[in-house]
Structure 1
């Protein structure tokens, strides 16, 4: 029995896929979506710990890494859990990538410091969002999905990209046979 409501993967991708039919626009998304998430997590590193939760400290390649259980962690966790609920196999990969993004962005943010990190994030976000809008305006000739459903577009974009990569490898997930991406 298929999942329904908010966990109906085919419904999500029918919506999201309708906005992403042009191969160049899809390629642009494949290039820029995950860096948008990564740099968002990078700047969210500087938000305070939630409920005064302790920091997690460990050494990575001889460098101390401090992970803060804050808003960035919350976003990475929410994305991860949602993806696994949508599809265990593909969602687990997406959850792993979210965790890697959170840890790596925390590592980089702690090295850059806020005064440089926000500049890096601003530049990356401007570049990536400009690419996204060019992809939709020039190649797709349609407004992006976020104008119709902001939350769904932000949450589904990274997962869409992973499944699109899988589709490009000519091994689409079997339960998405009826979805035209």
Structure 2
């Protein structure tokens, strides 16, 4: 059972993601966007630290730790899943050449924005509530695990006619 604060965040997030095709684009775009954000932040080297794998503390690691703390505070189970998935982005991102990460970023954002422009007809929710940039990955993990269900009232009735 979700805590009331997270339930409210998910309900608010769902209100900007009513069209099923938009939600589908997000299931593709959100993991791709998380990958490119982690990979790009990992390019920013902050300080040498021999105890860290690779020996360098990067902005990506700092952002991952801070995001993990937020996710775990929101929900332990979902937070662990999202944090572990984001952690996998470090080795994957390090294997992809810079041009590949940039191409992944462009593709992910195009898919994400197309979902909102073409199907949802509403700007992304993080434009008005920046915390939704963190909520998105957690929301879709909650959908996949069955910890959150989109209620019929949260589905765009015109979607069945599209």
In 2, the alpha carbon distance for the partners of 1:67 and 1:159 equals: 30
Q: Structure 1 residue runs of 4+, over 4 Å off?
A: none
Number of equivalent positions? 153
State which of 106, 118, 121 in structure 2 corresponds to 1:126.
106
2:135 alignment partner in structure 1: 156
State which of 126, 136, 145 in structure 2 corresponds to 1:146.
126
- Unmatched 5+ stretches in structure 2: 156-162
State which of 81, 104, 111 in structure 1 corresponds to 2:92.
104
TM-score by structure 1 length? 0.73
Contact 1:76 1:98 in 2 (8 A): yes
State which of 9, 19, 31 in structure 1 corresponds to 2:16.
19
SS at match of 1:21: coil
In 2, the alpha carbon distance for the partners of 1:133 and 1:69 equals: 32
In 2, the alpha carbon distance for the partners of 1:163 and 1:67 equals: 34
- Unmatched 5+ stretches in structure 1: 58-65
TM-score by structure 2 length? 0.81
Q: By how many angstroms is 1:144 displaced? A: 1.2
SS at match of 1:143: coil
Q: By how many angstroms is 1:55 displaced? A: 5.8
* Residues 50-129 of structure 1 mapped to structure 2, 5 A cutoff: 50=47, 52-54=48-50, 56-57=52-53, 66=54, 68-106=56-94, 108=95, 112=97, 117=98, 119-129=99-109
In 1, the alpha carbon distance for the partners of 2:12 and 2:59 equals: 28
Q: Kindly tell me: are residues 173 and 144 of structure 1, through their superposed partners in 2, closer, same or farther at Cα, counting changes over 3 Å? A: closer
In 1, the alpha carbon distance for the partners of 2:108 and 2:59 equals: 22
Contact 1:47 1:71 in 2 (8 A): yes
Residue 172, structure 1, aligned to residue 147, structure 2: yes
In 2, the alpha carbon distance for the partners of 1:75 and 1:81 equals: 10
Q: By how many angstroms is 1:100 displaced? A: 1.6
